[in-house]
Structure 1
Amino acid sequence: MFFSLSSAFVFLCLVNISSQSTDDGIPPELTVNLATVQLAEREDARVRLGAGPVVTCVDADGDAVRAYVSSVQPTSGCGMQCLQLEPVTGNPSDFKLMFKPTNGFATTPSYTLTIGCTDDAETPVEKTMGVVIVSNTPPTFNPNSPPY
């Protein structure tokens, strides 16, 4: 009688993956440098709103931060499609507000933006700011008005 022994290899791999948070539990600080910016209705190209950084987002722990537009009210008009935050070159804590017009941007006279700031470890901090669309209505000619 022949017995056949088959051997089996069992490969057991134990992997312990752990991560250690370097965040000290301090949420970032958000500064909105402009409460309201004005935008001329005639703008039809991508433009920066306000001079200097509009938003500054700093984390006391030294963690990397990002700022973003959380919401735009009213939702009619161009809203989130038109208004975006971008980092300022050379300073990762400063952000500029960019406007990119789309169809219908001039139909809404003002927007309220909720700006968020996060280090992706703590709860985001949020503040609001306004954007006002300044009407650029062309002059009209009235042939019945008296000459001056």
Structure 2
Amino acid sequence: KWSLRAGVISIGAFTMMSSITYFLYFTIQEAASPFAFELSRMHIAAGLILIATNVSLFYGGVKENRLCLIPALMFGGTMINVIIFVLLTYSLVDPFALLFIFALIPLIYCWMVVYSFYVELDPRRMQYPSNTVISYAGPISEPTEPIKYPEVV
């Protein structure tokens, strides 16, 4: 039986391997041809950010930690918006831009899986350090009588 957790873990593993491949490709390209230094440096930095985001997604799926899913949700939502913008801007000029639809459909599906898993996780079960005490029952003692303030003359 497939669950949202298994989907998030598999999406995290696949995207982590893809981002490592992306990072290695541009790192090797930079080592082989140092002429396009600025462009390669940008791709290397983007690859490191992708790796960190996807490791966070994978870890959040394994440990069921909501906070680790937030970078992937933000990055995925940004990518979806950028692809839609490119489609709306360039589809009339270049029919080749319509190929972005084939990237958009699986991306939206993967984003929805991660978002559904994020919503499914209970925020009260978040993992905090062991020395932190968090009470969800409200204040420890409720005042039984209203507070009496001094009268202003």
TM-score, structure 1 as length reference: 0.25
Between Structure 1 and Structure 2, the one with more helix by share is: 2
**Relative contact order (alpha carbons < 8 A, sep ≥ 6): 1 or 2 greater?**
1
TM-score, structure 2 as length reference: 0.24
Between Structure 1 and Structure 2, the one with more strand by share is: 1
